Amino acid sequence: MATSRIRRSTAAVLTMAAVATTVLVGQAVADEDRPATAPAHAPAATAEASARSERVPRIAAAWHSAWTGEDPNALAGLFTKDGTLVDLSVPYTSRGRAEITEFKAITERLIPDADLEITDAFRSGDRVVIRTDYSGTLPGASKPFKVQMASVLELRHGKIAVNTDYYDRATMLRQSGLPADWRPPT
């Protein structure tokens, strides 16, 4: 019985050490990826936005710019040639830069006022997690939606190999005033 408790205690200590190491390594990688800090004389709102942008890894900032920009090729250019973009809520998977460009263009046509606001982002090794507020108006909707979204980027040689998006489609549709079985027009 004492041996069993020792094994569980040892396992718990090793697990906590692994988590702490992951957090510290992730913080060190994130620190390497941060731009210079905002000047001390910046207004409070600007300082807050600047502080948030300092925590955003460069690839996450580029991903955000590409998603909110008008050039669908900009997003695809962040991916490896065989990169994959997975939207689990639709669900839809784009493989390769051409399909990723097409998915971005379809999204722009479907939700012309789509917006992503980064609320948090961090990098740990070759993984980046981006939390955003995703908003816009779906076709036929009586009102816009705003849902939280998490995007996980898996990097290979500084490019996105896999981008997986997670958000609550049911909440999006409910906020939009659309039925749960709504499908985008073809």
Q: Residues of 57-95 as b/e, b for ≥16 C-beta within 10 angstroms?
A: bebbbbbbebbeeeebebbbebbbeebbbbbebeeeebe
Contact 100, 81 (CB under 8 A): no
Q: Give the mean pLDDT of 166-184.
A: 96
Digit-coded pLDDT (tens) for 97-143: 999 999 999 999 999 999 999 999 999 999 999 999 999 999 999 99
Residue 38, pLDDT above cutoff 80: no
Banded pLDDT at 185 (limits 50, 70, 90): confident
Which residue has 């606001």 as its token pair?
Answer: 117
- Residue 14: exposure state from Cβ atoms within 10 A (0-12, 13-18, ≥19): exposed
Q: Would you say residue 157 has pLDDT above 80? A: yes
For residue 13, pLDDT beyond 60: no
Quickly list H helices, 33-95: 44-54, 58-68, 72-76
**Residue 16, pLDDT above cutoff 80:** no
pLDDT of 166 > 70? The answer is yes
At 72 the pLDDT is 83
Q: Average pLDDT of the chain?
A: 80
Give the pLDDT of residue 29: 41
Tens digit of pLDDT for each residue in 58-105? 999 999 999 999 898 999 999 999 999 999 999 999 999 999 999 999
Q: Are 151 and 164 in contact, with CB atoms under 8 Å apart?
A: yes
3-class state of residue 57 by DSSP: coil
Alpha-carbon Rg for the chain, nearest whole angstrom, is 20
In this prediction the pTM is 0.71
